[in-house]
Amino acid sequence: MTQNSRFIAINGRELRTQRLVRGWTQQRLAKIAGYTERLVRKAEKGGTLDIATIQDLAEALSTPAQAVAVESLTMDISAIARKWVESWELLETRMLPEIEPFLAEDFEFVCPGEPGAAPFVGTFRGAVGMQQWLDAYFSVLQRNKISKWSTWSEKIPSSPDGWRVALSSVCRPRPSKSTCTFGLSMD
């Protein structure tokens, strides 16, 4: 989301998990947060909410022993990975507007390889760098469309805010499989 936007996608699955860990009903969370049960029910299905509402929900779910961060209620790593793959598949060089809301301002995209081996090898910074990488990649490589893909994500034990995500795809007509793994942290 842009910094000017007041509405942010909520991770309904995480909201529900946090509520159930406390043994609360939707009605109880709604009462404690100062909203209706209908709002909590809709929030748990996903969609967007005003940032102030998400802050209120996070505060209601927080305990003295463990605060619930707004980021944990707004970040769904599997959904981000899915959006990346779908945008890659459908839009190729035009995918940046679809994924840019998920990128930090100081985002770095690193494509490993031997320097000079390909124009898309190296470190690309920010949205401009990402677009340069997309343009370079698709100007050199022609790829088959993905016929099947899957994602998985896991919490990185050594990092309280870090995640590791892998995207696997099977390309057709010639069967080949590629896996892209990237790390994500909420700094």
User: Exposed, middle or buried by CB within 10 Å (0-12, 13-18, 19+), for 41?
Assistant: middle
Phi, psi of 2, rounded to the nearest 5 degrees:
-75, 155
Domains of the chain: 7-74 (1.10.260.40), 77-185 (3.10.450.50)
pLDDT at 5: 52
Tens of pLDDT, residue by residue over 53-84, are: 999 999 999 999 999 998 889 876 667 777 88
pLDDT at 153 over 90: no
pTM of the model: 0.54
pLDDT at 167 over 60: no
* Residue listed under structure tokens 């996608």: 9
Question: Please, are residues 63 and 95 in contact by the beta-carbon 8 Å criterion?
Answer: no
Give the residue-averaged pLDDT of 93-99: 89
Phi, psi of 35, rounded to the nearest 5 degrees:
-130, 180
pLDDT at 33 over 70: yes
pLDDT at 168: 47
Q: What is the mean pLDDT of the chain?
A: 77
Q: What's the gap between Cα 33 and its chain centre?
A: 26
pLDDT at 145: 58
Task: Compute and round to an integer the Cα radius of gyration of the chain.
Answer: 19
Residues of the chain with pLDDT > 70, as a percent, come to: 71
Residue 133 neighbours by CB distance under 10 Å: 21
Residue with more model confidence, 146 or 102: 102
Q: What's the gap between Cα 8 and its chain centre?
A: 12
